[in-house]
Structure 1
Amino acid sequence: MKLVILGLLMEGDKHPYEMQQVMQERHMEHYIKLAKGSLYYAVERLLKLEHIAVREVVKDQTRPDKTIYYITEKGKKAFQELLKKQFQAETNYYHPMYTALAFIHLWDSDMITKILKERIEHTKFQLEMLERVYQLYGIGAPHGSVSIMENAHELCKVELTWLEKLHQDAQDGLFRK
């Protein structure tokens, strides 16, 4: 969340609600693990670390005060470090189905076939959604965002191929005891 906040402030001063709006407009919840309710907590942490500071507090009689933040020089350095860490971060990929596949031979083959078929249909729907999002937001988007969309699309296509093979294996009875 810190990297997202600092990145958004690198683009310009914002109130936390504006940050939330930009995250929604860019559909970040689809490609970044964002904990609900952590935005304001992270803003407070960044403020204490002096990575961000208050630009102004906008007062309005009909609404609560609106605090606008900007990124400090210290924050810009922290942003660069966080970017570096993200690019260097290694991870193991654990698919949610891997645990189930380890014990698939113990389950009813008709149920497996049915569930895999449902999963295939859902993945096809996701693929269509990704294609629509790209058509709506990909053209003219920053190249980094386009790269994310392309990667998500390719991963979804690979997932679909894998699920279709699993489904065929289930139909062929390969998961039986």
Structure 2
Amino acid sequence: MHPYEMRRLIRERRDDRLVSIANGTFYHVVGRLERDGLIVPVGVDRQGGRPERTTYSLTDTGRSAETTWLRRELPRIDNLMEHRVALAEAHVLPREEVARLLTLRRDALAAHRQDLRSGVTAAEDRGVPFQFLVELERETALLDADLAWLDTLLTRLADPGTAWGIHELPPTTRERLTAYRESVLA
């Protein structure tokens, strides 16, 4: 699709809540992706009095870069925003691989939570007042929530009845997606 359509789709999907990109910056990103060989122009069109629009497609190198990035970011616990974007795109990886990567993240989060709880307990034992530990309690509560959510997600991924990836979508959904893609590229 062309950059304008990419931006519109990002807004329509509300993915701009994950990554904020200004219009000018977006075109620079598209240019960089093309220079790096991750996308290639596949056509130029003009509709009515609108300016020409170059349509791009993801290259094999681009697909490989995407999956490499996803495999790196899904198990990480140190960059929440990158992880959220990776979660939004995790559907391009096989279910079993996503479950394995998220299990690694779950284990790392559980270890971090245990370290945090040990630190809070040690601080309380030394008489550190509550007001100096309140943010650590908040972080522990967020970790508890994240771990509970991950457990639920991993259970859903283990269920073969839960659709995952384009090939597992219901036929009517696949048909609508194909029709939408064709209308965008037309």
TM bracket, shorter-chain basis: 0.3 to 0.5
> Larger relative contact order (C-alpha < 8 A, sep ≥ 6)?
1
